[in-house]
Amino acid sequence: MNEPGDLGGGTPAPEAAGAWLADVAHDRVAALRGFLQSWYADVPPVQPEKTEAPMPLPAALAAFYELAARRPVIYGVHNTVYPPHELEYDEDEGGVVFAAENQGVWVKAFDPEEQDPLVYDDGEPDEERLGGVLLQFALVEAVMSAPYAGHALISEEQRDRFVAGLTRVPLAPATFPEQDTVIHVGPDLVAISCPEDDGYQLSVASRRRAALAVLRDPGFAWESFTG
């Protein structure tokens, strides 16, 4: 019998969680494109509107826009990446603002002179450059927009047992939805966790109900669970 929080079968190989995962270490743009194409494969594409950015785009943002134009959910349902025609340089932020928190708590800006630029939040650089931040954004928003999800406040021990059955995405901790958010993935699912008080907030989601079936009773009580 599996221990509480053990997904069974040990840590999945990267190809089991998604072929894109192997690209993260050396090609953030390829990883971003691969994840978005696989995760939203069930979303019917729409005819893209003709919009143009007022400036040349870094490769990662151009790839993001190419896919979001066909499936607008990619722009975000909780936080938002601005569409290309809304990009503008902000003197106060010291760069081109391209993303924002839903209540204006933060905005993200990049230096338009660089191909894989640093990303700034209130003047401070993120640990990840633009390609990594966009991949973080895509993974977090995948959880926020998924039709099947679970959320719980758990202990550090429970959290460690839970993620032992998943693969950590090799990115620095994200600054959203909370500081020090760590992202793990498994076959057809994404999990995000961050410290809170003496424990962790955990959210896990999938676009396929069957992918969450094994998590219905992982050894702790879900605050909400639709899997």
Backbone φ and ψ for 11, nearest 5 degrees, come out as: -70, 125
Whether 101 and 45 have beta carbons less than 8 Å apart is answered as no
Show the tokens assigned to 48: 């893209």
The residue among 94 and 166 whose pLDDT is bigger is 166
46-62: average pLDDT: 91
- Domain limits, the chain: 14-225
Mean pLDDT lowest among 19-28, 92-101, 165-174, 207-216:
207-216
Q: What is the pLDDT of residues 74-111, one digit of tens each?
A: 999 999 999 999 999 999 898 999 999 988 889 999 99
CA neighbor of 114 nearest in space, from 95, 128, 133, 139: 95
Largest Cα separation within the chain, whole Å, is: 58
109-122: average pLDDT: 91
Rounded to an integer, what distance in angstroms lies between the CA atom of residue 116 and that of residue 29? 10
